[in-house]
Amino acid sequence: MTQTKKLSALIVGSGGREHTLANACIKSPLVDQVVAAPGNPGMEPDVECFPVAADDIEGLVSLAVEKAVDFVIVGPEVPLTLGLVDRLNEKGILSYGPKADGARMEGSKQYTKELLLKNNIPTGASASFTKSDAAIEYLKTASFPIVVKADGLAAGKGVIIAEDYDIATKAVRDMIDGAVFGDSGKEVLIEECLFGEETSIHVIVSGKDYVILPTSQDHKQAYEGDKGPNTGGMGAYSPADLIDDDQMKHIEEAIVKPSVDGIAAEGIDFRGTLFIGLMMTKSGPKVLEFNTRFGDPETQVLLTRLETDPVEIMLAAAKGELSSIDVKVKDDYAITVVLASKGYPGRYPKGEVITFPASYGENEIIFHAGTKRSAEGEVVTNGGRVLGVTALGASLEEAAEKAYNLCSQVDFDSKYLRQDIGAKELNRAKA
């Protein structure tokens, strides 16, 4: 791609995904200045962080204008659904991430369900309700387990896998009548429970053009063996060989292409990441959800494995020039192990001092996720997911060994991690 002037980039968000995006900008020959809002201490000293919240749309637009930013990369879903990219585009600022019309696919599960059905894309059967009585009537003849979902954004908590009628009824009442998720739960979807291994595909989309990023797999449950409550993600690895080349061809034909075409047919000029959540069922892969941003912690492993400059890909997508991009991937395996605060995704302490090793290997990175700098200048815990310890290796085994070794050198009082990130893949490889 021809690029004369080097760019000034703004990263929106403060988690591990955003630290990864900031690192990609720092390394990119296309970028000469990186700022973040609100950012995190892991980005220092290369990135100037401004205390503007990721949902403060007008504050972010003002910052981008004031700092003469050329390119904005939006990490989380909330500013996308609030129309940040629409506002930046009005100001003539190039941005990576969909406008509000595209982000609606993450913001409304029913909207996505209708889009999937319209385009014959495999997904679980479902019904949607805005009245609890009608939903409960429906549950009387349903088979269990069944899945009850709040239609809108609920910070990853809006999905209840109900083992029986009573649990499902309570979930419906909580969401519609009790408004536990506010307006997000005014409409609920009751969906067939799908069984199989869960994974996701990241697709960078620009209108009708797309590139599929390498495979990866997250670990959503809090405890080892995929037990316990759902979290934002406790670790990820890439590639995930549970999707082989033939399966990927099938996923591209049956899911990716019709999704991209179907979105364009809605009149949406989508320029950003389409994250397709999949359940690999016995009758083939089925779509669980669309997210319209990069996954966290999937980004940490995906971008670390890219040979092609991720900024070049995102810039091309934002400009509508994605067809000129050839994405090259390293042969290495990557793994990210999340160091969380004990108690997450429930209550957990904050403000604990984190100690880091003085140095570590070249192919090892500690991405900050929930950290901040204390008044005394120390890096302290400030979230459920605190750090994403990442390593590359010639095999998944080697990458995992390096990452876990590095995890043992980082400390804070409530440190909690899953010891089995990548274990399913390692067992598959042995089988």
Residues that bind ligand GLY (CB under 6 A): 218, 232-233, 291, 295-296, 298
Binding-site partner at residue 352 among ligand AMP, ligand GLY, none, CB < 5 to 8 Å by type? none
Cα separations in angstroms, 69 against 61, 222, 398:
10, 38, 40
Which of 132, 221 has the CB closer to ligand GLY? 221
Task: Please report how close the Cβ of residue 291 comes to ligand GLY at its closest, in angstroms.
Answer: 5
Binding-site partner at residue 398 among ligand AMP, ligand GLY, none, CB < 5 to 8 Å by type? none
Q: What is the DSSP string of 222-258?
A: EETTTEEEE-S-SEEEE--TTS-HHHHHHHIIIIIHH
Spatial distance between the Cα atoms of 328 and 385, rounded to a whole number of angstroms? 30
Task: Please report how close the Cβ of residue 32 comes to ligand GLY at its closest, in angstroms.
Answer: 30
Residue 101 in the binding site for ligand AMP (CB under 6 A): no
Helix residue ranges per DSSP H, 49-186: 57-66, 77-81, 84-90, 100-107, 109-118, 132-140, 165-172
Report the residue from 277, 342, 363, 401 that binds ligand AMP according to the rule CB under 6 A: 277
User: Which residue is listed with tokens 């595909």?
Assistant: 201
The amino acid that residue 258 corresponds to is P
Residue 198 in the binding site for ligand AMP (CB under 6 A): yes
Report the residue from 170, 173, 186, 220 that binds ligand AMP according to the rule CB under 6 A: 220
Strands 271-281 and 197-206: antiparallel
Residue 157 in the binding site for ligand AMP (CB under 6 A): no
Number of residues that bind ligand AMP (CB under 6 A): 15
Question: How many CB atoms neighbour CB 2 within 10 A?
Answer: 3
Judge whether 307 and 194 are in contact, CB under 8 Å.
no
Binding-site partner at residue 124 among ligand AMP, ligand GLY, none, CB < 5 to 8 Å by type? ligand AMP
Judge whether 102 and 268 are in contact, CB under 8 Å.
yes
Binding-site partner at residue 295 among ligand AMP, ligand GLY, none, CB < 5 to 8 Å by type? ligand GLY
Would you tell me which residues interact with ligand AMP (CB under 6 A)?
124, 147, 149, 159, 161, 191-194, 198, 220, 230, 277, 288-289
